[in-house]
Amino acid sequence: AQSVTQLGSHVSVSEGALVLLRCNYSSSVPPYLFWYVQYPNQGLQLLLKYTSAATLVKGINGFEAEFKKSETSFHLTKPSAHMSDAAEYFCAVSDLAGGTSYGKLTFGQGTILTVHP
Amino acid sequence: DTAVSQTPKYLVTQMGNDKSIKCEQNLGHDTMYWYKQDSKKFLKIMFSYNNKELIINETVPNRFSPKSPDKAHLNLHINSLELGDSAVYFCASSPDYGLAGVKTQYFGPGTRLLVL
């Protein structure tokens, strides 16, 4: 069984400050990992994904995440926050296809990012 | 052009009614999904279809019945609606679930269902 834990349901940063959103996963097989962003009253948009290639993954809007197998983590970072980054962020894990999960995504609880001027 | 679209966007109805939510994708994907996001924003998969065949059916009440008339459409019919069904329902699609690995899932804008 897979699971995802996002540490901190709310993160607040000042504009221009570092953004760090934490995600730890549990998976019995090598995972595929994703970060999605949800703006108010909108659907989910893919930020980036890890699929066993480079461990440092760059996504849209200046976000990046590093896969650390030893720590079972996939934390999301951005060097300098913008007001437009305010949204809810979801980490998700999916196992390799071919198992019984058939590529379904298991999501974390979400982290609301607030950016102060 | 909208890649994954859902109708309606908002749905307010009374307990006991039957309602349907429609989903269409124009990405040519083989696999489609329904997710439920509850009031605490927790997202959980409900169903998945691949080429009109059901491949994932999580522990969802029988009142929920997905229907896929073709691989571009996956509709969700809900019978005898209950208060606890109030949530945001997201449709998603991906190229396929095959052995080459998991493909990115693309989400629709969501349908906000409120049962009174």
Torsion of CA A72, A48, A80, A43, to 10 degrees: -110
Quick check: A95 pLDDT over 70?
A: no
Q: Which whole number is the average pLDDT over A1-8? A: 88
Instruction: Of A3-12, A60-69, B38-47, give the lowest mean pLDDT range.
Output: B38-47
Q: Label residue A98 by pLDDT band (50, 70, 90).
A: very low
Quick check: A100 pLDDT over 60?
A: no
Locus of tokens 């459409």: B73
Closest-CA residue to A103 (of B94, B15, B39, B91): B94
How far is it, in rounded angstroms, from Cα A99 to Cα A95? 8
Q: Which whole number is the average pLDDT over B79-94? A: 94
- For A24-50, the pLDDT digits (tens) are 998 777 788 999 999 987 888 999 988
Question: Is-contact A105 A3, C-beta < 8 A?
Answer: no
How far is it, in rounded angstroms, from Cα A82 to Cα A58? 17
| A32/B101 touch (CB, cutoff 8 Å), yes or no | yes
Quick check: A97 pLDDT over 50?
A: no
The DSSP output letter for B83 is G
Q: Position B49: which residue type?
A: Y
**What's the pLDDT score for residue B52?**
80
User: Measured between beta carbons, which residues in chain A are less than 8 angstroms from residue B108?
Assistant: 43
User: Measured between beta carbons, which residues in chain A are less than 8 angstroms from residue B109?
Assistant: 42-43
Closest partner residue to B56 (CB to CB) among A51, A104, A109 is: A104
Q: Is the omega angle on the peptide bond into residue B8 within 30 degrees of 0, that is, cis? A: yes
